Structure 1
Amino acid sequence: MGRMLGLLLLLAGVSGILAQTDMKDQVFLFPKRSSHSHVRLLPAKNDPIDHLTVCLRSYTQLTRSHALFSLATENKDDAFLLFSYPHPTNMLSVSVGNHNLDYNLTARDTAEWRSTCVSWDSSTGVVQLWINGKPYPRKVLHKGHKINAKPIIVIGQEQDSYGGNFAADQSFMGEITDVHMWDKVLTQQNIADVLYKNIGGNVINWRSLKYEVEGHVIIQPYLCEIFYSSTCYPT
């Protein structure tokens, strides 16, 4: 009974519920602009980070700037950040240790559901971005830096301090699903496996997700365009 009550509260968007569950074919729906609503993702590891890959899928009609994935440490609010600027620049910004670089996205990579994967390797500083399975030119950012231990990871908001100081005009509105994080740089074949075989992360894993909902965030089933087929991505 207690487990069922917790699920019903989550579906209703009630704050402060801590859960761990398989989120296959589910999304977090952020229905409105907010300076509070977010989901905190609790990592399986809390060690310092010098290699990482983050993948997620998002769907939004926002034209203003907004955060997709925010990882903060006690001394760096943008320890690792994915931030979108849809209009007028059509740009995705990647930040590591409060240093950032920008990617200009093509029009086809901003429509409807978007799959985003980003890796960073401290030893070389190389950042690799994949949008909908397409690699963008590799860039270099903050070589030699190490992200401190005990990160706080948030979706739906950008952290301007460790775990908080959110701004409504940076909040995400729309749907986010399939969030994964690894403490290594994924290969090209790994990325293909993530996109088509649902390979999960070892730091954040959507299929075994430990999270806490705050504010008005609703769990909903994933919806896809309907064709003359019984299959629907993701499977």
Structure 2
Amino acid sequence: MLIWLILWTSGVWGQKDMKDKLFAFPKESSTSYVKLLPEYRGSFSEATVCMRFHSNLTREYSLFSLATWTKENAFLLYYYPDKRNQLLLSVDNEDHYYDLQGNNFTEWTSICATWNSSTWVLWIDGTKYETNAKRKDMKISADHIIIIGQEQDSYGGKFEASQSFVGEITDIIHMWNKTLTDENIMDYFAADEMSGNIINWNGLDYKIFEDVNIQPYVDPYPCISV
């Protein structure tokens, strides 16, 4: 009974290789999300995040939300659909908006976002979007909280259903405390053989809260022998 009570109050937790699995977020909610538990919790001044997902939502939603005690948008990936069709990358509460070229993420899509003291780069299925940095003194401080499925308006909480993710996120959620090179990114898209040193999908620590399911992932574009 005590074990059941602990799991119920703190969320379903686990550590596992998530290869060929996905997180499914079936409905709009302000309480359903996955908390990713980083392997490294210190501060850093550059980062890369990669992930693969799809969604049929026609409203805005959060993809990846990292918050610290002082910055709710320490590293945020957030999508604005329809005519606006922009992806927001926010680091240290500074926002950069990227105008997308025909992407709406209803099909499986792979993205990577990299940031350092000089450049911010967004990759979508191999297409590169680059912005020069405005500030040189930015960093992500220690003891960060990483959430997928919700957008943190405060440290670890203050979620809004209207910003929640509905869809599926799969086999490449990885995060590094360094900037990957263009060659690294292209190799990653092609082979998915690199593992993050902050978040590693192949040895993921996480807690599931409320209505999020782990399901098998079936590649929609399998290799066919000829």
* TM-score, L = length of structure 2: 0.90
Deviations 1:32-63 (A, max 9, x none): 00001000000000111101000001100111
SS of residue matched to 1:70: strand
- Cα drift, residue 109 of structure 1: 6.3
SS of residue matched to 1:40: strand
Specify every segment of 5 or more residues in structure 2 that has no aligned partner in the other structure, as ranges: 1-6
Identity, in percent, stands at: 48
Distance verdict in 2 for CA 1:228–1:103, change over 3 Å: closer
Match of 1:183 in 2: 177
Matched, 1:135 2:135: no
Candidates 54, 74, 85, aligned match of 2:49: 54
SS of residue matched to 1:193: helix
Deviations 1:63-122 (A, max 9, x none): 100000000000100011000001231110000111101001111464401111000003
Match of 2:75 in 1: 80
Partner Cα separation in structure 1 for residue 222 and residue 202 of structure 2: 26
| One-letter amino acid of the counterpart of residue 131, structure 2 | R
Deviations 1:148-191 (A, max 9, x none): 10100000000000000000000000001110000000001111
- Cα drift, residue 226 of structure 1: 6.1
SS of residue matched to 1:138: strand
SS of residue matched to 1:207: helix
Match of 2:208 in 1: 213
Partner Cα separation in structure 1 for residue 162 and residue 106 of structure 2: 21
Candidates 196, 218, 225, aligned match of 1:201: 196
Bigger shift: residues 128-137 or 166-175: 128-137
Distance verdict in 2 for CA 1:51–1:228, change over 3 Å: closer
- Is the 1:79–1:98 Cα contact (8 Å) retained in structure 2? yes
- Is the 1:65–1:87 Cα contact (8 Å) retained in structure 2? no
Matched, 1:70 2:80: no
Match of 2:12 in 1: 17
Candidates 121, 140, 154, aligned match of 1:147: 140
SS of residue matched to 2:188: helix
SS of residue matched to 2:199: coil
Bigger shift: residues 136-145 or 168-177: 136-145
Partner Cα separation in structure 2 for residue 46 and residue 19 of structure 1: 18
- Is the 2:23–2:169 Cα contact (8 Å) retained in structure 1? yes
Match of 2:186 in 1: 192
Match of 2:158 in 1: 165
Match of 1:92 in 2: 87
Matched, 1:121 2:116: yes
Partner Cα separation in structure 1 for residue 214 and residue 135 of structure 2: 36
Distance verdict in 2 for CA 1:54–1:141, change over 3 Å: farther
SS of residue matched to 1:78: coil
| One-letter amino acid of the counterpart of residue 59, structure 2 | R
* TM-score, L = length of structure 1: 0.87
Match of 1:4 in 2: none
- Cα drift, residue 221 of structure 1: 1.1
- Is the 1:97–1:142 Cα contact (8 Å) retained in structure 2? no
In the TM superposition, structure 1's runs of 4+ consecutive aligned residues that sit over 3 Å from their partners are 108-111
- Cα drift, residue 224 of structure 1: 3.2
